[in-house]
Structure 1
Amino acid sequence: MASSPSVSTTQKDAFSTQNDSTRKTQQPLQVAKRLEKFKTTIFTQMSSLAIKYGAINLGQGFPNFDGPEFVKEAAIQAIKDGKNQYARGYGVPDFNSAIAERFKKDTGLVVDPDKEITVTSGCTEAIAATMLGLINPGDEVILFAPFYDSYEATLSMAGAKIKGITLRPPAFSVPIDELKSAITKNTRAILINTPHNPTGKMFTREELSTIASLCIENDVLVFTDEVYDKLAFETDHISMASLPGMYERTVTLNSLGKTFSLTGWKIGWAIAPPHLTWGVRQAHSFLTFATSTPMQWAAAVALRAPESYYVELKRDYMAKKEILVEGLKAVGFKVFPSSGTYFVVVDHTPFGLENDIAFF
């Protein structure tokens, strides 16, 4: 057998030096045009600064405590039981059933767990699969600003035209006349996030009913991001799909992470009638195909938690919200009302800085 050619120490050193020099050459950043306008997410920036300065991170949406033991133990048991291979593409059957059971309790709607529920890798993937699976290039999609940054990015990937309707303080009410003016023959969907990130607004029944009427009248779909549905403090959460005539044109998006303080598990789902589920699943199949198997088994256990769990969750967050709000007011912020989520919006102008970026 022929021996490998030898390389002297001098040759290796020269190669290493040349290689290091090549790597250190500044290369222009490359990104597809559909994403070139987007920068590093504000969540990444704030989390990095919080780590750098040892600050409390009030930016990214995750709690500073862990999820419940009974859910974590269920995941450990699932791993020990060998539930570690690919799951069925649209979800472990028991988890799909648990989602359907929870949805019926919350909305009164009966859905087929095998035909109308798609399990995804977090709600963020459910959002992406919905946009990519149901939106065509040039379609108009209406968003309520401010909004979760992945909405705009995934719509840009889909080639959609985005129309923003601004929710303004202090009540962040939906400007119905602006919404009516924004709807055209090219409007494909309206995206609603309630309870709303980051304002903490709960869309009222009147607002939802008006939006529903406009959607029916103009044959428009609704995508509803409801990840904070269990963190509704002052009034009960209302799911758009439960309103008359709306289930057939609604995709309801949700996840495990916020309700069970397990954001790192990335377990989400989309609920929609079969004709809309088809598009969601087609995109999901080529994004992630399937979501973590043992975590889905544990998520099924989580969703079957007694109602007392949700009562205690809301009680604990309301107590923490009061501490945060009073603390922010005490140091000089103007704090706007928050009816849900674990976010509050504050006015920084009393500190005399030019804008939020300067304050940040």
Structure 2
Amino acid sequence: MSQLANQYGAINLSQGFPNFPEDERLIKISENILKENIHQYTPMAGLPSLLEKIARQTEKEYARKVNPNTEILITAGATQGIYTAINTFISHGDEVLILDPSYDSYEPSVLVASGTPIRVSLNDDYTPNFNKIEAAISPKTKMIVVNNPHNPTGKVWKALDFENLETILEKHPDILVLSDEVYEYISFSQPHISFNTRDKLKHRTIIASSFGKSLHVTGWKVGYLIAPENLMQEMKKVHQFLVFSVNSFSQHVISQYLNIVDFSEISKMYLRKRDLFQSLLKESRFELLPCDGTYFQVVNYKSISDINDVDFATALIQKHGVAAIPISVFYNDHTDRQMLRFCFAKTDETLIAAAEKLCRI
């Protein structure tokens, strides 16, 4: 869709990255640190000062104490972390439950590991269907992937959802949880509940986080994993021969930036953008679904057209000059409920210009 948007000169609300400037303080740190002697390999697991600050942030945010030397791993983006986790613990014949609609890196990572992805659809309102999840578990199930806050739908799990999952997994003590929490600091309707806080599950959970998403520097590709030592030491073996160590410059800059950044401001900033985008589309013919977290707004276009979502998204670019992502591509069976995903991590000017075009449809 981004390629098509470029071809037609459309406003791109499809790909999930910001188009606004980074924090000036982050840029200043980058400029100051550039000429320092920081351009060689960091230790394989990550820059020690950054690992320590992640540990402090995890304790501050989630009241969980993690050992920076044995329970945290800096990765080349959360996607590499997710790939590493899956390819450490999944092998031929192992099954991995993936909740649809789902981010597109999970299944390929399972397939590379010679595992079997088992796609389980969420409910129509994008809440987890625990009856389906439990029914999908077999003796071959090795892992379940949870994404919260959820891309592409913007849904956020509630405490009851975690309790339901805990009840199911109590019966299956060998199943691991891979929790994709890259939007953990972008939650609106309620505080983000992390697996870091779930005492019944954190001993068998791998949590993926993203500085790219949290600090609006997606191109830096710096993320991290948190997991118990017994799981982490196995993932480090894969990580060492996959990337060895992550970009040293970015790690040094982020380590200093964590001294001054206020993560609570991130949700406030995106809440304002969400509210602006929703208000701009209020008079349009699109039906806006609730957006509880992330920087994605899902809309239904059933009052405009009955064509499939891929064709509608293509026409939206070609005829109306705005790019979105059709939700069906996030499903294994291409479930089409006439939904599109817009990214509102854009400047106000971009959102206003896009909304003007959308309101004319």
Q: Same fold (TM over 0.5)?
A: yes
Matched, 1:319 2:247: no
Task: Give the residue type in structure 1 aligned to 2:133.
Answer: L
Question: Mean alpha-carbon deviation: is it higher for 317-326 or for 72-81?
Answer: 72-81
Residues 247-269 of structure 1, C-alpha deviations (whole Å, 9 max, x = no match)? 21000100101111111110001
Deviations 1:300-329 (A, max 9, x none): 1233335xx333322221121122223334
Determine whether 1:310 maps to 2:250: no
Query: Could you tell me which residue of structure 2 aligns to residue 224 of structure 1?
Result: 179
Q: What does residue 174 of structure 1 align with?
A: 128
Alignment deviations for residues 39-97 of structure 1 (CA, whole Å, 9 cap, x no partner): xxxxxxx1112222222211111011122122222233332111001111110000111
Q: Return the alpha-carbon distance in structure 1 between the equivalents of residues 273 and 194 of structure 2.
A: 26
The corresponding residue for 1:157 is 112
Among 275, 280, 291, the alignment partner of 1:338 is: 291
Q: Residues 241, 314 of structure 1: CA spacing in aligned structure 2 closer, same or farther, 3 A cutoff?
A: closer
Give the 3 Å change call, closer, same or farther, for CA 253–350 of structure 1 in structure 2. Answer: same
- Provide the secondary structure at the position in 2 that maps to 1:125: helix
Counterpart position of 2:159: 205
- The question of whether the paired residues in 2 share the 8 Å contact of 1:185 and 1:218 is answered with no
Kindly provide the amino acid, as one letter, of the partner of residue 214 in structure 1: I
Q: Is this contact kept in 2: 1:215–1:222, CA < 8 A?
A: no
Residue 292 of structure 2 corresponds to residue 349 of structure 1: no
Report which stretch shifted further, 260-269 or 207-216.
207-216
Aligned to 1:74: 29
Q: Using the alignment, how far apart are the partners of 1:275 and 1:337 within structure 2?
A: 39
Name the counterpart of 1:136: 91
Q: Could you give the per-residue CA deviations for residues 119-163 of structure 1, whole angstroms, max 9, x where no partner exists?
A: 010001101111111111211111111111011111111111111
Cα distance between partner residues in 2 of 1:134 and 1:98: 27
Q: CA 1:53–1:301 in 2, change beyond 3 Å: closer, same or farther? A: same
Aligned to 1:194: 148
RMSD over aligned Cα, in angstroms?
1.4
Q: Residues 9-24 of structure 1 correspond to what in structure 2 (within 5 A)? A: none
Identity over aligned pairs, percent: 33
Deviation digits for residues 220-248 of structure 1, max 9, x if unmatched? 11011111011001101111132122221
Q: Distance in 2 between matches of 1:103 and 1:81?
A: 28
1:262-287, CA deviations, whole angstroms, 9 ceiling, x for partnerless residues? 11110001010111112221221122
Q: 2-side partners of 1:66 and 1:155: how far apart?
A: 35
CA 1:216–1:71 in structure 2 vs 1: closer, same or farther (change >3 Å)?
Answer: farther
Structure number with higher relative contact order (C-alpha < 8 Å, ≥ 6 residues apart): 2
Q: In structure 2, what is the equivalent of residue 41 of structure 1?
A: none
Contact 1:169 1:336 in 2 (8 A): no
- Among 244, 247, 251, the alignment partner of 1:296 is 251
Aligned residue pair count: 312
Decide whether the 8 Å contact of 1:241 with 1:247 is kept in 2. Answer: yes
- Secondary structure of 2:209 counterpart: strand
Structure 1: distance between partners of 2:95 and 2:36: 47
Pair 1:85-2:40 in alignment: yes
Which of residues 195, 198, 212 in structure 2 aligns to 1:243? 198
CA contact (8 A) 1:102 1:304 kept: no
Name the SS of the counterpart of 2:120 in structure 1: strand
Q: 1:6-85 maps to which residues of 2 (within 5 A)?
A: 46-85=1-40
Which stretch shows the higher mean deviation, 321-330 or 250-259? Answer: 321-330
Equivalent residue, structure 2, for 1:25: none
Distance verdict in 2 for CA 1:216–1:241, change over 3 Å: farther
Distance 2:197 2:171 in 1: 17
Unaligned runs of 5+ in 2: 314-361
**How many angstroms apart in 1 are the aligned matches of 2:283 and 2:95?**
43
Q: Which moved more, 1:126-135 or 1:315-324?
A: 315-324
CA distance in 1, matches of 2:199, 2:153: 27
Amino acid at match of 1:334: E
Of 229-238 and 317-326, more deviation after overlay is shown by 317-326
User: Residue 218 and residue 48 in structure 1: after superposition, are their counterparts in 2 closer, same or farther (change >3 A)?
Assistant: same
State the alpha-carbon separation in 2 of the partners of residues 305 and 193 from structure 1.
28
Whole-Å separation in 1 of the counterparts to 2:60 and 2:282: 38
Q: Which structure features the higher share of helix residues?
A: 1
Determine helix, strand or coil for the equivalent of 1:72.
helix
Cα distance in structure 2, aligned partners of 1:357 and 1:145: 17
